Amino acid sequence: MSGQPGAPPGSLPGPPQGSPHSGPSATVGPRTTQLRLLPRGPKPAWSVVASFVLLGLVALAAIFGSVVFADATKQSILDSLLPPFTAGHLLGTDELGRDVFALLVAGTASAVVGPLVIALGSMTIGIVLGTLAGYHRGWLDMIISRFSDVLLALPVMLLAIVVAGIFDAGYWMTVALLVLLFSPSDIRIVRAGVLEQAPRPYVEAAQMLSLSRWRIMFVHVVPNVWPLIVTNVLLNTSFALVTLSSLSFLGLGVAPGTADWGRQIADGRGLMADNPAALIAPAVLIVLVSMAINVVGDWFGERLERKGIR
């Protein structure tokens, strides 16, 4: 039945003729759908730039802080309660004579690393369970969704206080607990994203090629949910920063005497009259850093969304 086909086989080596307006004159005017003419080059606002600068400084402090200010926690009663802007003590000292600025810098690591680990750890759980639930649906979805519902129903702070208080858990134990407690929102968000992607033709085309489920889920689908993932990781980081600091403010998770922002606030409560910086500086820093993470997270999410998936 081969007959004489109209188009001689393989005799069309010409240029690709996919689009009628892919010619040289197509440089003028829009090429894609006409209504997609929204802002092209994202120009970061000043708030985004400021947030990046702040987070850069925080990162530096987290890495080198404890080296540069190795003796930040050294007490010297003679120098206690110096007000801010005293020579040699920019933000003054607390009642144990520790330099507030040095404490802040040295405490950065414990303030920032924990939340990062919490956000990344819970997102790992979220990606695995959320993708499984969203892609497979059915009973697996049922189990995973109910599991995350139960976790979501638990009050994070209360449970952390109880566990950390009763079992006298250390910093990393608390972090591990928070990884678990932070995971339900990640599971839900990833599941929703995967649910939206799964019925798309490119996924069905991958199924038609009989690729393995794991490959379809984690190589094809998950990268398309990436904007959601990045945004939520950063959002959770700032939330975890506040949660962890609150716990150490209550004296949980962090051993007394260690450099930690939450701890500093707790210690600084009584020093308002003598050295307000001991209380205000760490508090303002927590607020600023968590805000900066949020701003950067939003910016990232928007950019990724604009770049990739449409």
Partner 1 sequence: MSGVRGLVVEKLAVTGPAGAIVHPVDVVVPPGRTLAVIGESGSGKTMTARALTGLLPSGVTATGRFSVDGDALELPADPSAWRRVRGRRIVLLMQDPFTSLSPVHRCGDQIALTIRARIAFERGADRAAAVRRDRTVRGAVQAEVLQRLAEVNLPAEVARAYPSALSGGMRQRVAIAAALAARPRVLIADEPTTALDASNQGEVLDLLLSLQRAYDMSLILVSHDLGLVSGRADEVLVMRHGEVVERGRADHVLVRPQHEYTRKLLEANPSINDVMGSTAASTGQVGPTGQAGATAEFAAAGAVPLASTDDSFGPESLLFAEGIAKRYGTTQALAGVDVDVRAGEVVAVVGESGSGKSTLARCLAGLDAPDAGSVRLGGETLPPRRRGRTPDQMQIVFQDPYSTLNPVFTVEQTLREALRVAGRPAEDLTELLEMVDLGPEFAGRRPSQLSGGQRQRVAIARALAPRPRVLICDESVSALDVSVQAQILELIVRLRDELQLAVLFITHDLGVVARVAGRVLVLRRGEAVERGTTADVLTRPQHPYTQLLVAAARDDSIARQNHDPAGSLP
Enumerate binding residues for partner 1 (CB under 8 A): 1-7, 9-10, 12-22, 25-26, 28-35, 37-40, 200-202, 204-211, 220, 223-224, 226, 308-310
Distance CA 234, CA 115 (A): 10
Least distance (Å) between residue 140 CB and partner 1: 16
- Residue that is written with structure tokens 């949980």 in the block: 252
The nearer residue to partner 1, 88 or 138, going by C-beta atoms, is: 138
Residue 154 CA to residue 196 CA, distance in Å, equals 28
Give the C-alpha separation, 45 to 295, whole Å: 10
Smallest gap from residue 37 Cβ to partner 1 (A): 5
Question: ∠244-55-169 over CA atoms, to 5°?
Answer: 20
Closer to partner 1 by CB, 31 or 74: give it.
31
Query: CA-to-CA distance for 92 and 6, rounded, in angstroms?
Result: 88
Q: Give the count of beta carbons closer than 10 Å to the beta carbon of residue 169.
A: 17
Paired tokens of 286: 């927590």
Residue 58's identity, in one-letter code, is V
Taking the complex as a whole, the smallest distance from the CB of residue 17 to partner 1 amounts, in Å, to 6
> What distance, in Å, lies between the first and last C-alpha atoms of the chain?
42
| C-beta of 1 vs 153, nearer to partner 1 | 1
**Is 8 or 88 the residue whose CB approaches partner 1 more closely?**
8
Q: Which is nearer to partner 1, 51 or 197 (CB)?
A: 197
Give φ, ψ of 213 to 5 degrees. -55, -40
Least separation, in Å, of the C-beta of 191 and partner 1? Answer: 19
Q: How far is the CB of 120 from partner 1 (least distance, A)?
A: 21
Which of 173, 152, 185 shows the shortest CA–CA distance to 247? 173
CA distance 303 to 205: 28
Partnered with residue 89 across adjacent β-strands are: 86
Nearest distance, CB of residue 141 and partner 1, angstroms? 17
2 vs 78 by CB, closer to partner 1: 2
CB 48 to partner 1: min, Å: 21
CA distance 189 to 198: 14
Closer of 6 and 88 to partner 1 (Cβ): 6
Contacts of 13 (CB under 8 A, 6+ apart): none
* Least gap, CB of 283 to partner 1 (angstroms): 41
Pick 72 or 222: Cβ nearer partner 1: 222
Dist CA 237 CA 293 (whole Å)? 7
